[in-house]
Amino acid sequence: MILLLNSLVQGATLVDTSNWGSLLSMMTIITAGTILLMWLGEQINEIGIGNGISMIIFAGILSDVPGRIATQLANVVWGGPFKDIVIALIPFIILLAFTLGVIYIIIKFTE
């Protein structure tokens, strides 16, 4: 994953992968974080709240929604003259409808 992220950036590297010691420690930290999230998901399952891994994925998706809405609103407010506001609202409305639809579908699948 670390090497993939480095290859996606053009012109510069995100992480110095020439040092095997630092690369190994990064891989260990990423693996430990993944195992921690899997354990947390299993704990949520055992308590009986619901499917833990799905809830964690849902929370990750849902945590991005306010930032996207704020960005779209900032583009509408600072985007230019008043006539452009109507044009700028169209992607916002589509994004809002899509987000609410995805949230509805995820809740229905989780139930």
Which of 6-20, 29-43, 58-72, 75-89 has the largest mean confidence?
29-43
pLDDT digit string, tens, across residues 47-84: 887 788 888 888 888 888 878 877 777 766 665 555 56
Q: Is the pLDDT of residue 104 over 70?
A: yes
Q: What share of the chain is helix, strand, coil (3-state, %, to 5)?
A: 80, 0, 20
Listed range (24-38, 65-79, 94-108) with the worst mean pLDDT: 65-79
User: Residue 13: enclosing H or E segment and its boundaries?
Assistant: none
In a 13 Å sphere around the CA of 108, the CA atoms on its Cβ side amount to 6
Domain layout of the chain by residue ranges: 1-49, 50-111
Q: Is the pTM of this model over 0.75?
A: no
Please provide the average confidence, as pLDDT, over all residues in the chain.
81
Q: Reduce the secondary structure of 42-60 to three states and give it as a string.
A: HHHHHHCCCCHHHHHHHHH
pLDDT > 90 fraction of the chain, expressed in percent and rounded: 12
> Comparing C-alpha atoms, which of 107, 98, 108 is closest to residue 64?
98
